[in-house]
Chains A and B, each alone.
Chain A
């Protein structure tokens, strides 16, 4: 049975000041197997973030439904951990307190919490920074904390909305390896939204390419590159072939977006 099922989910935004309503997402169907790493690739404004927010329960679909482990999603919950593109650490909490936030909301006593928090601080390589405030951390470290915060809750699925989008290229590469390393060791169902083709291939066991707005699934490309993956994989011929194929796909969509915007 699929871990996550998206059934005919569409989203239409009401028109601004009596204007025409805007369809952000055409009906989308997608089934995600347990422990799969899915990347959703598409040009900006294609509705890929909207789709993720619907899965998270932060936005209601205009039609269709989302099932996680057979249960319909109606509102956000700790079974769907999310990492945002913007830095969303709670600035008044330390790194350790941020990671323990979900556990605390669940009412877990502090002693049990500390042990789990320490293991996740370790996992994302932030030993020695546990009692720092978020503002004292670099962007990469903040996003590592955000990943640890989402994972510490042990969610059924991890949702990431362009989590490395605001980072510089080198940091982004390191973060990709870090997250992939965690996934290879711990196995988790992951939905990862990005507009970066290389990132989409490198991370994924399956790339979902979305069309220009209104978004729909354009192609579904399995990535059968071996694990564990190392950054050198990005220069291999198999990787390049996939990249060429997806670049072509996404280029057409990006051009269509540019045309609708200039029209």
Chain B
């Protein structure tokens, strides 16, 4: 029956994956429509869909969605531009690592959300502040993961390149960087997922637009249907961007596929 590590056929995999969603929604419908929980605290699935429709059609919620997407990608791209070169430098050159690693390890544990009051003082409650929250939340993570990956570049490939006449500069640019490119892209995909958490936190505080703003706004009106709709939208966009990222990686690095 259930043999450890035994693969599951693709068709069965899809059915099982969908089955859980069905069960989940069914359970939700049962406790809400069946009257097992108070409607004030949890909307039922139908009401959620109705609220969502109204949000999109009447309240122009899609503008909030767009602004949130822009914030995530803006902050994330900013963090990547700074973090990727630093991470590669730390992995490749050990003195750079010795210099930066202790600080980055420390800074990684500073919660981005705790910086929001400071960032509001410095940058106001405009777009820059939102981008900076995501930047602070992502940049140290990216640096550290990439530094570790680059640091564990296969030594035999580096040695082979040296015996073929590569210079130190050539080793970094034509061995270390291409060897780790798929891993770096994979790291960015992972951190992008985390960036979605930071953006909502940033929008919960001192904001007048975005999905997070809609959610905090709905709370004061006990519109749990809207809140759940907002959360599901975030989940869907996250899933879509993850798919897109994976497809991009597959297209960019065909050689790395097993």
Residues of chain A having any CB pair with chain B under 8 Å: 56-58, 75-78, 80-82, 84, 86, 88, 90-93, 101-102, 104-106, 133-135, 146, 149-150, 153, 159
Contact = CB atoms under 8 A, between A and B. Distances in A.
Interface in B151-183: 156-157, 159-167, 170, 174-175, 178-179, 181
Binding site of B, secondary structure by majority: helix, strand, loop or mixed?
A: helix
A78 B255 contact: no
Contacts of B156: 84, 86, 88
B17 interface: no
Contacts of A106: 165
A113 B101 CA distance: 41
A92 B256 contact: yes
A58 B159 contact: yes
Nearest to B257: A135
B7 interface: no
Contacts of A88: 156-157, 159-160
Interface in B168-222: 170, 174-175, 178-179, 181
Contacts of A149: 164
Contacts of A92: 178-179, 181, 253, 255-256
B157 A58 contact: no
Contact of A102 (B165, B175, B253, B256): B165
Given A82-B159, A146-B160, 15 more contacts: A57-B162, A58-B162, A75-B162, A76-B159, A77-B163, A81-B163, A82-B160, A84-B156, A84-B159, A88-B157, A90-B175, A92-B255, A105-B164, A105-B165, A153-B164
Interface in B72-120: none
Nearest to A90: B157
Interface of B: 156-157, 159-167, 170, 174-175, 178-179, 181, 253-258
A93 B164 CA distance: 15
Contacts of B159: 58, 76, 82, 84, 88
A76 B164 CA distance: 8
A106 B167 CA distance: 9
A76 B181 contact: no
28 contacts: A58-B162, A75-B162, A76-B162, A76-B163, A77-B162, A78-B164, A80-B163, A81-B163, A82-B159, A82-B160, A82-B163, A84-B159, A84-B160, A88-B156, A90-B157, A90-B160, A90-B178, A91-B255, A91-B256, A101-B161, A101-B164, A101-B166, A102-B164, A102-B165, A104-B174, A105-B174, A150-B164, A153-B164
Interface pairs A-B: 8 shortest CB-CB:
A78-B165, A102-B164, A76-B162, A82-B163, A88-B160, A92-B178, A133-B255, A105-B166
B163 to A, nearest CB: 4
Nearest to B159: A58
Given A92-B256, A105-B170, A133-B255, A56 B181 contact: no
A242 to B, nearest CB: 31
Most buried by A among B156, B164, B256, B257: B164
A125 B174 CA distance: 27
Nearest to B182: A92
A75 B168 CA distance: 12
A81 B255 contact: no
A84 B162 CA distance: 13
A135 B163 contact: no
A233 to B, nearest CB: 31
Nearest to B171: A105
Contacts of A93: 178, 255
Contact of A153 (B165, B178, B254): B165
